Structure 1
Amino acid sequence: MKGYKLVISSRKLKDLQLVKNRCPNKDYISILPLDLAALDKMSEMVNEALSFYGRIDILINNAGISQRSLIMETDLEVYKKLMDVNYMGTIALTKAILPHFVSQKNGHFVTVTSLMGKFGSPYRSGYCGAKHALHGFFDVLRMEHEKDNLKVTLVCPGFVNTNVAINALTADGTPQVDNDTATRNGLSPQVFAKKMVKAIENEKFEVYIGRKEVMGIYLKRFFPILLHKVVLRNKVR
């Protein structure tokens, strides 16, 4: 054990309690229910988090909603929700904690985006747009606050076997409900988490975690037309 003290957050209090109860050092874990869509509550949430231990050293932005729908069929409100949660909620929380990091001249923003923040794939237009936006914002944050000794790590997962596809929004905003083969066969959350922790400890600027889908990063950079053909041929849904 590394002795970290955690504040864990999500909208679901019962799930947070289950997570805490499964951990060996419960005294090192505090629960703070939080909804990223409540943009005006972020300063209040940061103050409450600070009340637990007196300081915060690392913020891990890991909340988000995925999408599975074609552009032609997707309601504009679905795009708004994707941006409000995946982008604006993350930015609001980041800005709320930024003055604390600046004042203590130390802090590490870790933002889980996606390989979809680096290249696109059909049925994920709004999700890709929000994840691309996070890269733009946090690259600038890193530049503006290097003088304050602040760090930024962008973590880009490929397929991880979670409920992300099950909860993905469809064209009318309802959840997809069904899983997909690529997600089901992705990395286990445990394997992914270990790789992410290593990247955080090494203060990586950006890290790509997955299997063969990671090659999309390099195809996009050097062979974008080939990537276009590969993605269409694979018909990932």
Structure 2
Amino acid sequence: MYFNGKTVWLTGASSGIGLAMAEQLAQAGAHLILTSRRADALEQVRLSLAHPERHKVLALDLAQPEQAAIAAQQALGDQVVDILINNAGVSQRSLILDTDLSVYRKLMEIDYFGVVALTKLVLPRMVERRSGQIVTVSSVAGKIGTKLRSGYNGAKFGVIGFMDSLRAETAQYGLVVTSILPGFINTQVAHNSLTGDGSALGHEDPDNAGGISAEKCARQSLRAIAAGKAEVVIGSGMSKLAPLLQRFFPGLVRRMIAKR
């Protein structure tokens, strides 16, 4: 198995896609570094996983990426990370007219700068060893701008561009760079989405409620990671087809989004 015996640093590990990934990675024999904001929630996850003694908890607040990177460096020291999976993120549900600038800043800190900070932390050792894989869970929203998600779209577009540059720059060292683009996934992402004043939405979104399960998304994501794919879109229905339609029929996609 691809993940057996490898050290995998997984952010956003306490819920949703990240939790499903953690469960499947542990079953596959990986040694996990589990990251999210709350140490107590992570410890519960660790104890629930197969072979809990193999895994460690590293609580970080990626809304403060510089401080998170310093804390991670101190905690990890010289530990080798074979695979970094940047999965932590926060979404948005608010109109541009109603959204405070601080909300845009927070979305960028977590969804973009958090990825950059942790990637830069593990990258030198991977380059030195000429071995390693960096994965970021972006979104279909990183390919197609939609209503109510302007800041989230901006951050996810940005992180795909960062990953494309990273892939080009590290090809000479034999590193693998993988972008995962989920469509609608049935998780709590909408509940935790930021509204215009920065508060959480607090309820379900019909789009996400109709999406595929976190377990199915995790399974397909890990399959793509193991295959060394550069980029993969995961989902069902229109959320999976949208990037392809955007490529060949951009005008049609714009009209569809405007009418939603």
TM-score normalised by the chain length of structure 1: 0.94
CA change 1:162–1:124 in 2 (3 A) is same
Q: For residue 63 of structure 2, what is the amino acid of its counterpart?
A: A
Match of 1:14 among 15, 37, 40: 40
Does residue 116 in structure 1 map to residue 141 in structure 2? yes
Letter in 2 for 1:13: A
Deviation at 1:14, TM superposition (A): 1.7
The answer (yes or no) to whether the contact 2:60–2:71 under 8 Å persists in 1 is no
Deviation, structure 1 residue 22: 1.4
Q: Which amino acid aligns with 1:118?
A: K
CA distance, structure 2, for counterparts of residue 46 and residue 28 of structure 1: 20
Query: Offset of 1:40 from its aligned partner?
Result: 2.4
2:175 corresponds, among 136, 145, 150, to 150
1:45 maps to which residue? Answer: 72
**Aligned 8 A contact 1:43 1:93 in 2:** no
**Structure 1, unaligned runs of 5 or more:** none
1:195-234 map, 5 Å: 195-212=220-237, 213-233=239-259
Query: CA–CA distance in 1 between the matches of 2:159 and 2:71?
Result: 23
Q: Indicate how the Cα distance of structure 1 residues 157 and 121 shifts in structure 2: closer, same or farther if over 3 A, else same.
A: same
Letter in 1 for 2:90: I
CA offsets per residue over residues 68-102 of structure 1, 9 Å max, x none? 11111111111111111111111111111111111
Corresponding position: 1:31 with 2:57: yes
Q: How far did 1:47 drift?
A: 4.5
Q: What secondary structure is seen at the aligned counterpart in 2 of 1:60?
A: strand
Give the alignment's Cα RMSD to 1 decimal: 1.3
The 5 Å alignment of 1:77-116 reads: 77-116=102-141
* Counterpart Cα distance in 1 of 2:184 and 2:197: 24
User: SS state of the match for residue 69, structure 1?
Assistant: coil
2:190 counterpart residue number: 165
How far apart are the structure 1 equivalents of 2:127 and 2:216?
A: 33
After the TM superposition, which residues 47-86 of structure 1 pair with which residues of structure 2 at under 5 Å, given as runs?
Answer: 47-50=74-77, 54-86=79-111
Determine helix, strand or coil for the equivalent of 1:194: helix
Task: Please report how far the alpha carbon of residue 49 of structure 1 lies from its aligned counterpart in structure 2 after TM superposition.
Answer: 2.8
Change (3 A) 1:46 1:74: same
Contact 1:7 1:49 in 2 (8 A): no
**Unaligned stretches of 5+ in structure 2?**
1-26
Over 4 Å off, 4+ runs: none
Q: Distance in 1 between matches of 2:155 and 2:42?
A: 26
The 2-side partners of 1:165 and 1:151 are apart by 31
Describe the SS at the equivalent of 1:145.
Answer: helix
Q: Distance in 1 between matches of 2:30 and 2:221?
A: 15
TM-score by structure 2 length? 0.86
